[in-house]
Amino acid sequence: MEELDGEPTVTLIPGVNSKKKQMCFDWGPGEMLVCETSFNKKEKSETVPGCPFIYIIRKDIDVYSQILRKLFNESHGIFVGLQRIEEELTGKSRKAQLVRVSKNYRSVIRACMEEMHQAAIAAKDPASGRQFSSQVSILSAMELIWNLCEILFIEVAPAGPLLLHLLDWVRLHVCEVDSLLADVLGSENPSKHESFWNLVTILVLQGRLDEARQMLSKEADVSPTSAGMCRILGDLMRTMPVLSPGNTQTLTELELKWQHWHEECERHLQDGTFASSPHLESLCKIMLGDEAALLEQKELLNNWYHFLVTRLLYSHPTVKPIDLHFYAQSSLDLFLGGESSPEPLDNILMAAFEFDIHQVIKECSIALSNWWFVAHLTDLLDHCKLLQSHNLYFGSNMREFLLLEYASGLFAHHSLWQLGVDYFDYCPELGRVSLELHIERIPLSTEQKALKVLRICEQRQMTEQVRSICKILAMKAVRNNRLGSALSWSIRAKDAAFATLVSDRFLRDYCERGCFSDLDLIDNLGPAMMLSDRLTFLGKYREFHRFYGEKRFFDAASLLLSLMTSQIAPRCFWVTLLTDALPLLEQKQVIFTTEQTYELMRCLEDLASGRPVRGEPGAQRLQEDIENTKLEMLRLALARNLARAIIKEGSLEGS
C-alpha cells in the first residue's frame, strides 16, 4: 500500500451524531449507504430513539449539476469520436487531430463556464450565486490545467514556439486586461485615466507590445515633455525580436538578435534615458527581465505562472521544455516569497512543468470534485501514448481505472446512465463486467426504456442480461394480467419454461371461459411456437378450433388426434380434447376413419386406466360420476363411429 496523499476530508451528515451513535455503511458502485445501528455499547443501555433514516452518500456530486450535464453530454460525443480516430493516423496528422480534440474539450469547458457565469449573475439568492461562482473558478482552473497540458504533452512545442504557446496561455487566462483596455480607450482622455499606466504595464507583462506602443503614442501626444522618451521606448518595443510562426530564421539567429536588442535596452537604462519618468523606466526594466522590477508588479501579475512566463519572455525567450521546471520552481518561490504556501492548483501546474503526468493526474483527482476532468484528460494523454509504462497495483491501468470511476458515477445518476455505456465499452479489461453489473440495476419503468436497455445488451451479446430483462418484463406483464405481452417477452427471451407457464395460463383461462383471449398473438405465433411443447400445443389447439370454425372437419380431426398421439397435449387436457372430438363423431358424414377411431379408443382407455380408483365420498364422488358419464358417452360415440366407418370404408372398397 502507498501512504495517504493527504488527510481524508470529513463529511458531516446532517441529523446524525456519530459521537453518540454507531454508524454502519455499505458500498455501492458510485454511492454509499449510511445509517445508525442499534448496536449500542454495553454500559449505555438506555434506548434513545435512533435516527430513522438511511442516507445515500454520493461521491461525484458534480454529476448532479444541471449545467455540468451539458459538459458531460457534449464531451461524450468528443470522447467517442476520439476512440474512433485511432490507429490509422500517424505522425503529424495524428498529432494535429489530437490537438483538435483537446481544443474541442476545452471549448466545451469554456462554454460551460460561460453559462455558469451567467447563472451566477442571474442567481436570486447569494448562497446559490456563491456556489455558481465557485463552480466557475473550478471550471476555469480545469481549463487552465488542460491548456497547459495540451501545450506541454500533446502539442510538445519545442524551444521557441513553446514560449509563444505559453504567452497565449497566459493571455487567455488573465483576461481582465481586455475590459480594462476598453474602459481606458473609451474614456475622454485615455492617458489621464487612473489605470492608464497599469494598463500599459499589463500589456508589456503579457508581451502585447504593439498595443503597448499605441498606448504610449497616446501619452506622447498629450505630454510633449515625455514624447521623446515614449518614442525611444516604443522603438525598443517595435524592434524586439520575436519568433513568428511563418518565419524561417533559426533559433541561433534569433538568440543573437535578441542578445543585441537586450544590450541596447540595457544601455538606455544605464544612460538614464528614462530617468525622468519612473513609469517608463520601470517598463524598460521589465523588458530587461529585471526580477525585482517584475516582482514590484505582483498585483498586476496576479499569479506566479504569469510571472514565470513574463520572466521567460524577457530573459530566456528560447527556453527549452526541459529547463521549464527549473524556472517554474524559482518563479514560484520568488513570487510567494515565503509568505504563503502553494495551493493545490500551484502544485498541479508545477507538476506539469516538471512533465510529471502522473503527479498532475493524482493531484487533480484529489483536488477536483469530479472524475470528468481526470478521466478525459488521462484518456487523451493515453492516446498520445504517454501513459503506457504506468500500471496500477489495483484494477487495470490508470486510464481504465479513471474511466470506470467516471462511468460508474454516470450510472448512479437517474438519467445519465446512457452516457456511461460508451465509456465502459472503451475499457478493454473491466468495462464489460462493469457494464453487466450496472445495466441490470437500471429500473425499467416503461417498455420503451426497457427496449433501450435491451438494445444495449443485445448489441454487446450480453445474453444473460437480455434474458433477465425479458423475464422481468414477462413477469410484470403476468402480474398485470397481460398474458399476450408476457408471452411475447418470453418468446423474445427464448425462455421455454416461462412460455410454458404462460401457455398454461391461457389454457386454464380457456377451460374456465370457453373462449380464447389474445387471438391476434396466438394465431400469429409462426415458428416461435416451437419454443416449448406447451406453447406448441396452445398454438395447435387454437388451430384446431379455427379448422372447426371453418368447417374443415377432416383437418380438425387429424390435428386433434395427432395432438394426443404425439404426446404434445398434457395428460390433464386429454378429457377436454376427447370431449372436443364428440361433435365431430356426431357429424352426419363420417370424419374419423377406422384407424383413427381405434387410436381415439386407445387414448380413451389409456386415460381411463390411469385414473385413481374410486372411493372418496361427497362432492368428489359427484365429480367422478360426471366424468364417468362423459367417458361412457365417448365410448358410445366412438363405437357408433367405428361402425359407420367400417361400413363406409367397406362400401368404398367394394365400389
Enumerate binding residues for another protein (CB under 8 A). Answer: 66-67, 69-70, 73-74, 76-77, 80-81, 414-415, 418-419, 445-449, 451-452, 455, 459, 478-485, 488, 517-521, 524, 526-528
Nearest approach, Cβ of residue 111 and another protein (Å): 9
Nearest approach, Cβ of residue 434 and another protein (Å): 19
Q: 187 with 194: CB under 8 angstroms?
A: no
Q: In this complex, which beta carbon is closest to another protein, that of residue 79 or of residue 353?
A: 79
Q: Which residues contact 504 (CB under 8 A, 6 or more apart)?
A: 534
Q: In this complex, which beta carbon is closest to another protein, that of residue 160 or of residue 431?
A: 431
Nearest approach, Cβ of residue 488 and another protein (Å): 5
Q: 286 with 293: CB under 8 angstroms?
A: yes
Cell numbers at 338, concatenated: 515565503
Residue 58, beta-bridge partner list: 31
Q: In this complex, which beta carbon is closest to another protein, that of residue 135 or of residue 206?
A: 135
Nearest approach, Cβ of residue 412 and another protein (Å): 13
Q: In this complex, which beta carbon is closest to another protein, that of residue 517 or of residue 562?
A: 517
Nearest approach, Cβ of residue 78 and another protein (Å): 10
Q: 422 with 376: CB under 8 angstroms?
A: no
CA 260 to CA 246: how far, in whole Å? 22
Torsion angle, CA of 590/591/596/602, rounded to 10 degrees?
-80
Q: In this complex, which beta carbon is closest to another protein, that of residue 355 or of residue 426?
A: 426
Nearest approach, Cβ of residue 589 and another protein (Å): 32
Nearest approach, Cβ of residue 5 and another protein (Å): 34
Q: In this complex, which beta carbon is closest to another protein, that of residue 174 or of residue 453?
A: 453
Q: In this complex, which beta carbon is closest to another protein, that of residue 488 or of residue 500?
A: 488
Nearest approach, Cβ of residue 85 and another protein (Å): 12
Q: In this complex, which beta carbon is closest to another protein, that of residue 258 or of residue 506?
A: 506
Nearest approach, Cβ of residue 201 and another protein (Å): 35
CA 490 to CA 497: how far, in whole Å? 9
Nearest approach, Cβ of residue 329 and another protein (Å): 41
DSSP per-residue codes, 118-151: HHHHH-SSHHHHHHHHHHHHHHHHHHHHHHHHII
Inter-CA distances, 68 with 88, 370, 422, 477, Å: 33, 10, 18, 38
What single-letter DSSP state applies at residue 260? H
* Cα 349-346-341 angle, rounded to 5 deg: 155
Residue 27, beta-bridge partner list: 32
Nearest approach, Cβ of residue 429 and another protein (Å): 24
CA 306 to CA 300: how far, in whole Å? 9
Q: In this complex, which beta carbon is closest to another protein, that of residue 439 or of residue 581?
A: 439
Residue 25, beta-bridge partner list: 34
Inter-CA distances, 445 with 185, 568, 600, Å: 61, 37, 50
Q: 178 with 339: CB under 8 angstroms?
A: no
Q: In this complex, which beta carbon is closest to another protein, that of residue 233 or of residue 450?
A: 450
Task: Round to the nearest angstrom and report the end-to-end CA distance of the chain.
Answer: 100
Cell numbers at 103, concatenated: 481544443
Inter-CA distances, 482 with 57, 279, 474, 506, 507, Å: 39, 86, 9, 11, 15
Cα 504 from chain centroid (whole Å)? 43
Q: In this complex, which beta carbon is closest to another protein, that of residue 19 or of residue 414?
A: 414
